[in-house]
Amino acid sequence: MAGLIASLWLLASIVTPGLGMCFFPTEFQGEYMTQSSSRGGVNLQYAPISILPESIPVWGVCHRRFGNRVILMDRTGGTNCIRCFELTLRSLNVVQIHTEGLDKCYTTEEAAMATCPTDESIATGKSREIMLYKTKELTGDPVVAQEYCPVNGRFVFTYSVNDGLADDHVNVAENVNECHEPVSELSNCPYGFGLGLRFKRCSFGELEINFQCLGDWIGHNGERYMALLDVQDTQSTTAVTTAGGVGIINGAERRPRYRCAVRVEDPETGKMYVALSSDSTCTNDLKSPKEGYETLVLTSIPQPPLPFEVSTSSCRFPSWAHGQWQDAYVEDDTLIYKDLRNFKTYTLKCMVDDKTLPDDQGKFVVYARTQCGDDFYTCLTVEKRGVNVMEFQLGAETSASYNQSLCQNEKFPQETWVTQGRITVFSEEACPISGEYTGVIPDAVGLCAKLYSDCRNPQRMFYSVSNCHNLSEVYEEREYRCLGKFADRGLTYTYTERRDVLGYECFVGVIINDGELFIKEAGEHCQRDVEPLRMGMKVTRQATCYAPRPSAKPNAIATAATSATSFNPNTNAMHPSVVDSNGVHRPASSLPPHNGNNQPTTIRTWKPATDSPMGSSGYRSVFSSWLLLAAFMAVQLHRITGLQVC
């Protein structure tokens, strides 16, 4: 809670009175590094840049925002210098910016707005790209959030570099620094947030390179990008001279610290193609997954066959659970779960189910295997919390062999549920609030919050934090899409999807009467140890219906899909419906993120997905405004400190 209050007061103390309506959401704020030279090479340099609550000092003060486009005004030169920028939050570590250029500015807002980047100008490269990689919070605390790597599992690969060493007269093009044999190894094991590359039998000898994954997303051109941090080790890295001087195989002191890559999977062969830019941008010498400064072709390493009792089991998961969820996929006897907390992907095969339980819940003895090949038997319990929400948990006990006693009640000593929202919402459901509710944020003197719904669009809720003494000073605005609600032990839980930035949130509330209730954040997975009546915030209803807001909120910075949460199960998952050209069942090399067409991007096993890589869902609940402050407190505390509200 201390981190939340500190963030609120930092924001309130910096925002200029009367100008509070133009600000950057907390998720964007921080200190970053950006490539200061226009191209890569041996002279590649980085420069620090900060995003403050209402300014980016090197470019100006936040003057006006329209969606994810921001008008910045710089008056340091004596006259107005106005520019338009598009800011996109790609992950907790990466902000991608597009603009006409830093060498141009305008004296009027209208002229600057005419130059705002468009999807077309970004996709065609007409707008300049600026990549920001986060290093610190505004408090000065160093931070690099751990993100699950989208290249998930164990692979062998070949490698080539477009290093300019081709000879026009001798056919030795690109053979000097290459690995032609598919014996080099790549994996995100044992730590799912890191990639280790082991170069073997290469023209430059053997080499080890390690990256930390910073995030992945779908770009404006539809390609799947990922950002990497080079975990440099100058003692163990051998320098190899190339014309460009910045490739993977160069010495750590000569390699770019931040890398951008684009990737694609061939659904026919299962091979994954990865290309990297020549520097820390996502544009220089990077055209496609098969055409970049450096390219790799990955082939997944097959896992051992399933045990006989697993492959012959007739057990199936309930039909209501089938489909694609935010971090899980269920089909027939298989549940694939991407555990973002522990950076593992579990493939669970149903062995035996408990026939005595209702259709909407069940306990199943399952065989589990991770993307790194670890396997065990355990118990899985699954419960339906609504048409768009399910919860499941794994038993505390595991076994090296099949044992039906794994599903005894004592094997679940704690209620550590995993809450999941359905990607393709079956039916829109109204949010729990109706009208406008307000409250005072606990332990934050002078800060008030408002939770309100659009009576004409009841599936959406909005939340704002402002100065209690001047409500026009708005410090935070959020938008939620409601997924569903369920009751447990006298408390009502509501599961929501953030629409202004990435993420899902659960809230718990207690209704006092029609116009009064207490609410509190319950984490992403609906924690059962939260006491809203004792620790939550009291909110009261001010109006039974709130005037409709525009569908495109002018003060919401947009975010793009990231696989920090988009579902990319491990390459070696025991997927039941992946068949090669010979009709042989094989592991899928990866499962697709959600694309803009609500269609799967790879093999037919995947069902239609959401228009956002984060997924989307609908939510309902009995209590009205608990979402308001709970949302802010929960997400702020989680984003800023990485801790759960307790």
CATH class in words for 436-558+616-641: mainly beta
Q: Are 32 and 135 in contact (CB under 8 A)?
A: yes
pLDDT at residue number 243: 35
The SS3 of residue 123 is helix
Res 308 pLDDT > 90: yes
pLDDT at residue number 165: 52
pLDDT at residue number 246: 53
Question: What are the residue ranges spanned by the domains of the chain?
Answer: 19-136, 154-300, 308-421, 436-558+616-641
Q: Would strands 81-89 and 69-74 be described as parallel, antiparallel, or unpaired?
A: antiparallel
Task: Give the predicted TM-score (pTM) of the model.
Answer: 0.77
pLDDT at residue number 359: 66
Of residues 249, 250, 272, the one with CA closest to residue 262: 272
Between 459-468, 487-496, 621-630, the lowest mean confidence (pLDDT) is in 621-630
- pLDDT band, residue 175 (cuts 50/70/90): low
Mean pLDDT, rounded, of the chain: 78
Render pLDDT for 242-285 as a digit per residue (tens, 0 to 9): 334 456 666 656 789 999 999 999 988 999 999 999 999 999 99
As to burial, measured by CB atoms within 10 angstroms (0-12 exposed, 13-18 middle, 19+ buried), residue 233 is exposed
**Distant-in-sequence, close-in-space partners of 292: CB < 8 Å, separation ≥ 6:** 162, 261, 262, 275, 276, 277, 285, 286
Retrieve residue 239's tokens. Answer: 């320098």
**Distant-in-sequence, close-in-space partners of 333: CB < 8 Å, separation ≥ 6:** 313, 315, 316, 317, 349, 350, 576
Res 220 pLDDT > 80: yes
pLDDT at residue number 77: 77
pLDDT at residue number 176: 63
Provide mean pLDDT across the span 325-337.
Answer: 95
Q: Are 412 and 381 in contact (CB under 8 A)?
A: yes
pLDDT at residue number 618: 30
Res 87 pLDDT > 50: yes
Which residue carries 């006006």 as its tokens? 64
Provide mean pLDDT across the span 369-398.
Answer: 93
Res 537 pLDDT > 80: yes
Res 355 pLDDT > 80: no
pLDDT at residue number 260: 97
Of residues 254, 260, 161, 179, the one with CA closest to residue 213: 260
